[in-house]
Chains A and B, each alone.
Chain A
């Protein structure tokens, strides 16, 4: 009795121990949100926020494209679903129940309005998950290029539906969204995303996903339900893309269907491929590097008068793919490189 209790205790304690760093990271994000504005210019701050949103997108896509080996090209579509739904929810709340959102005396947002914002983000993510499930279920039974084509088509369908939906502004776009998103929120969700993907990948489910990536026939022979595994990864990736969409909407304060075209999906795919398919830290690094690189090259345009940014951006990608086709990290994580040991865990090749 006593012994089992003790084991039980250590177990939950161990769970907390492993959570400790992640919770600390979230606390750190809010601390930085408090401290950084006085140290950094709003411009750099804004780039960091956009980089954070890109990290969420690329890490969640890596779960599908990298770890499960399915080629999804519809991430922008899920982002649009989540972004539009959460923005629509908060703007309608402000319109119909201003007593819940806005302080009548000052016209400012109420402190409690953040609860609705958080709720709308999660609902946006859930909606994206549902859509991901519906799209994924039939198409993930297919193999190879078919999924890419289906998801590409799906992204465009979402965009065209949004263009023709008057309730969310149609082609005019949805404007007047309140700016809830800040550094703290974005990096809280960055930590949550990385945590969830990390834990999934390093669990039994993660082994299932990686076995699907390595050899689907062998995985089926081992008794793995490949469709189920793929749909789970796909839906989870969609959830975080939806949340990222919500964060994006409440940061930019205006949404336009044009923002979520397939170029946006490609940008995320590029981040995943550049960072390394199957490396979470690779996705994080690549998302940050590419977001910052685009801005860092801006002075070049100012001095030359020609926008060379995309040329250099493309060159970097070409050189990268020639020199290191596996991406920056391949399937390794940043910690593996520092420790100088070979990755054993989960490497099925």
Chain B
């Protein structure tokens, strides 16, 4: 008798948990909340949480509140895979948001694809991620585009003819960007005078910079992450290199100034959005983010926010919240007014949207120009 009553309780619990009877819509997030890239994971998480909070304040989706389940992967691909399996099979989430790094998105995507759960990566820029299957999307531009943007900027706005590259061989992101920059810059008639490399974690770049100085380039392209870029800028200026420094969205952190300081003046990098953009979508986002977290959002927070917004908009368009319907709705996203520009999802499930070029000046990122795809 006791056993039977317990069984019925179990059944009742199981029923409330199963998605059909659920009163909430479960969304999974996998991010690096600890480990060496924790700041990226935290920023993205804050952006996503803000979007969830706003959506719930509006009454959720189809009258159901959204429940965000955030799992940590410690910056490891296999942990990301385990976390994704848990979200998909245990928590029965309707969609997954994540990951920042392409290496971890690649470990997650096959699982999402296999279980037919739509997955939107906020900022994995490696082209291969969305090639894994038709349930995998992203809301950021991909490495080729960012490389092209900076090549175009260097050739047209800076009138550079001879550019040096300093790439981080440890990061696929940096290597990819360097390759696409080289390709685009050569097409526009420029010349890569020297291609040097370093490994993230290094602190002394004098030997690379000395050989770059010898070639007297018009600009130096450093598509790395902020920690090394700050140090490189400092050491470059110390060596008397005055050429402008160029980079990608890996520069986007207030830590950049803490490390690099004034040495970063006369530097430019491509990014997803500019805080100076007066568009209402951007200003509203910055305002609510500031009131929520008491700080200025960085690019990754904006991307996380956008990924969640694109997903919610797609979910609202569906009839029954079936995974195939959500998938189709995300694929049909067109000119969605997001913080990081109007997002259109193309046939390869990548976001086609403009990039902005920012100038670094006295501890501030100033808006320089917008480059359309």
Q: Which positions in A face B, CB cutoff 8 Å? A: 41-43, 46-47, 50, 160, 163-164, 169-173, 175-176, 179, 248, 252-254, 256, 258-259, 295, 298, 301-302, 307, 309-310
Q: Is the CB of A170 within 8 A of B77?
A: no
Q: Is the CB of B71 within 8 A of A302?
A: yes
Q: Is the CB of B77 within 8 A of A254?
A: yes
Name the residue among A43, A164, A171, A298 with the largest chain B CB count within 10 angstroms.
Answer: A171
When C-beta atoms are compared, the residue in chain B nearest to A259 turns out to be B77
Q: Is the CB of B33 within 8 A of A259?
A: no
Does residue B255 face the partner (Cβ distance < 8 Å to A)? no
Secondary structure of the A side of the interface?
helix
Does residue B69 face the partner (Cβ distance < 8 Å to A)? yes
Q: Is the CB of B77 within 8 A of A252?
A: yes
Q: A163 with B170: in contact, given A173-B103, A254-B103 (CB under 8 Å)?
A: yes
* A-B pairs, 10 with minimum CB distance: A172-B172, A171-B172, A254-B106, A256-B103, A42-B89, A307-B72, A43-B86, A43-B89, A43-B85, A46-B85
Q: Is the CB of B77 within 8 A of A46?
A: no
Number of A-B residue pairs with CB-CB distance less than 8 Å in the complex they form: 81
Chain B residues with CB below 8 A from A164, complex form: 169
Q: Is the CB of A172 within 8 A of B176?
A: yes
When C-beta atoms are compared, the residue in chain B nearest to A255 turns out to be B77
Does residue B171 face the partner (Cβ distance < 8 Å to A)? yes
Contact of B78 among A42, A163, A252 (CB under 8 A): A252
**How large, as a class, is the contact surface on chain B?**
20 to 34
Contact of B33 among A172, A295, A307 (CB under 8 A): A307
Q: Is the CB of A41 within 8 A of B107?
A: no
Does residue B190 face the partner (Cβ distance < 8 Å to A)? no
Q: Is the CB of B72 within 8 A of A301?
A: yes
Q: A171 with B170: in contact, given A43-B86, A46-B85, A50-B82 (CB under 8 Å)?
A: yes
Secondary structure of the B side of the interface?
helix
B39-82, CB under 8 A of A: which get 1 and which 0?
00000000000000000000000000000011110101110011
Does residue B17 face the partner (Cβ distance < 8 Å to A)? no
Does residue B128 face the partner (Cβ distance < 8 Å to A)? yes
Does residue B318 face the partner (Cβ distance < 8 Å to A)? no
Sample 6 A-B pairs with CB under 8 A, ordered by A number.
A42-B89, A171-B174, A172-B102, A172-B172, A254-B107, A302-B71
When C-beta atoms are compared, the residue in chain B nearest to A160 turns out to be B199
Q: Min CB distance, A52 to chain B, in Å? A: 13
Chain B residues with CB below 8 A from A258, complex form: 77, 103
Q: Is the CB of B89 within 8 A of A41?
A: yes
Does residue B90 face the partner (Cβ distance < 8 Å to A)? yes
Q: Is the CB of A163 within 8 A of B71?
A: no
Contact of A295 among B34, B82, B169, B175 (CB under 8 A): B82
Q: Is the CB of B90 within 8 A of A252?
A: no
Chain A residues with CB below 8 A from B74, complex form: 307, 310
Q: Is the CB of A252 within 8 A of B107?
A: yes
Chain B residues with CB below 8 A from A298, complex form: 71, 83, 86
Q: Min CB distance, B52 to chain A, in Å? A: 14
When C-beta atoms are compared, the residue in chain A nearest to B173 turns out to be A171
Chain B residues with CB below 8 A from A301, complex form: 71-72
Contact of A170 among B90, B107, B175 (CB under 8 A): B175
Chain B residues with CB below 8 A from A302, complex form: 69-71
Q: A163 with B106: in contact, given A43-B85, A171-B175 (CB under 8 Å)?
A: no
Contact of B77 among A47, A256, A295 (CB under 8 A): A256
Does residue B110 face the partner (Cβ distance < 8 Å to A)? yes
Chain B residues with CB below 8 A from A295, complex form: 82, 86
Q: Is the CB of B128 within 8 A of A175?
A: yes
When C-beta atoms are compared, the residue in chain B nearest to A42 turns out to be B89
Bound-state Cα–Cα, A175 to B105, Å = 11
- B97-126: which residues lie under 8 A (CB-CB) from chain A? 102-103, 106-107, 110, 126
Chain B residues with CB below 8 A from A41, complex form: 89-90
Chain A residues with CB below 8 A from B90, complex form: 41, 43
Bound-state Cα–Cα, A343 to B319, Å = 68
Bound-state Cα–Cα, A310 to B175, Å = 32
Chain B residues with CB below 8 A from A176, complex form: 128
Q: Min CB distance, A266 to chain B, in Å? A: 13
Chain B residues with CB below 8 A from A50, complex form: 78, 82
Chain A residues with CB below 8 A from B71, complex form: 298, 301-302
Q: Min CB distance, A303 to chain B, in Å? A: 11
Q: Is the CB of B77 within 8 A of A179?
A: no
Bound-state Cα–Cα, A164 to B90, Å = 39
Bound-state Cα–Cα, A254 to B74, Å = 17
Apart from A43-B89, A170-B172, A254-B77, what 10 extra A-B contacts exist at CB < 8 Å?
A50-B78, A164-B169, A173-B172, A252-B77, A253-B107, A253-B110, A254-B106, A298-B83, A307-B72, A307-B74
Q: Min CB distance, B228 to chain A, in Å? A: 14
